Amino acid sequence: MTTRLLRPTDREDIAQRLLRSSAKASYDPLTEIDWDTPVNPDVYAIPPHRISLYGTQLWDQLSEAQRKELSRQEVASTASVGIWFESILMQMLIRHAYDRDPTTQHVQYSYTEIADECRHSVMFARFIAAMGAPHYRLDPVSRFLGRVFKATSNGPLTFSAALFVEELLDQMQREMMADDQIEPLARAVARLHVTEEARHMRYAREELIRDWPQRGALTRAYSRISLALVAARAADSLISPDCYARVGLDPKQARRAARRNPHWRASKIWFARQAVETFTAAGLMSGPAQYIWRAAGLIGHSA
């Protein structure tokens, strides 16, 4: 796997394959997904062991109905982060395409991916409402950092940050779509997203591995640190503390419990593991950046 990852395929050839696949398997979530069947309050929206408080004392205090409600709020929070990041990504891809030749296949694929992300954000927004949740807005610092990042990221940062968030959601959603105990709407959203994101991850991986060796030592050092900071911020923002208030818990106390929760810490490592593997193979994890990854709890033993 490592060898393949470090050798990019021909840029136009892979872009052409991705465009062909997009023409065959792209989905409109508004018509593909059944939005009319009411959400069943008696099932979980994510597997219980992926809920941030699973296994804690606070978890023991919650009734089964509250736990299921928390699963809906947490999946909605993750979808809110998904929309936040897709907005950042769409702008980064537009900037990527801006200076390049639109008659090339790889720039056309960039436009195609933007179109996919537009549909995904509408899908996530509908999904949040269907879960009976609010839009969980990120904190002002994350929003500010996102604003700076989407306006200034270079090639390696655009595609590594994209890959990090896409791999994170992919891990999470593959598990959801395979679990028939989970709310059908959550599984349908996960399935559609996983299908289209497979192409995005391939594109991001190829662009990253092609670009990275051409960068100087200074840009690489800066990109490694910036990527680690983005990954730390994105992973820490997945669950809004306001989710806890929706099931009657104190948000600050519950957030503290989640941050200390070994189950949740292991889950975050598991969500990040594919991205970490790619970045390690490509040389994006070395130097001081690895301390940020470790401090953020994104490398270690997963579950």
Q: What are the residues binding Fe ion (CB under 5 A)?
A: 117, 120, 166, 197, 200
* Residue number with CB closer to Fe ion (62 or 194): 194
* Residue number with CB closer to Fe ion (166 or 211): 166
* Minimum CB distance to Fe ion, residue 116 (Å): 6
Crossing angle between the packed helical segments 64-98 and 105-130, to the nearest 10 degrees: 160
**What residues contact 38, with CB distance under 8 A and at least 6 apart?**
none
**What residues contact 182, with CB distance under 8 A and at least 6 apart?**
43, 44, 45, 46, 47, 176
* Residue number with CB closer to Fe ion (19 or 43): 19
* Minimum CB distance to Fe ion, residue 197 (Å): 5
Distance CA 135, CA 161 (A): 23
Distance CA 299, CA 199 (A): 25
* Minimum CB distance to Fe ion, residue 203 (Å): 9
Distance CA 283, CA 97 (A): 25
* Minimum CB distance to Fe ion, residue 120 (Å): 4
* Residue number with CB closer to Fe ion (90 or 285): 90
* Residue number with CB closer to Fe ion (69 or 166): 166
Distance CA 180, CA 182 (A): 5
* Residue number with CB closer to Fe ion (201 or 239): 201
Q: Hey, how many other C-beta atoms are within 10 angstroms of the C-beta on 90? A: 19
* Minimum CB distance to Fe ion, residue 90 (Å): 9
* Residue number with CB closer to Fe ion (62 or 76): 76
Question: Residue 182 forms beta bridges with which residues?
Answer: 44
* Minimum CB distance to Fe ion, residue 246 (Å): 25
* Minimum CB distance to Fe ion, residue 280 (Å): 22
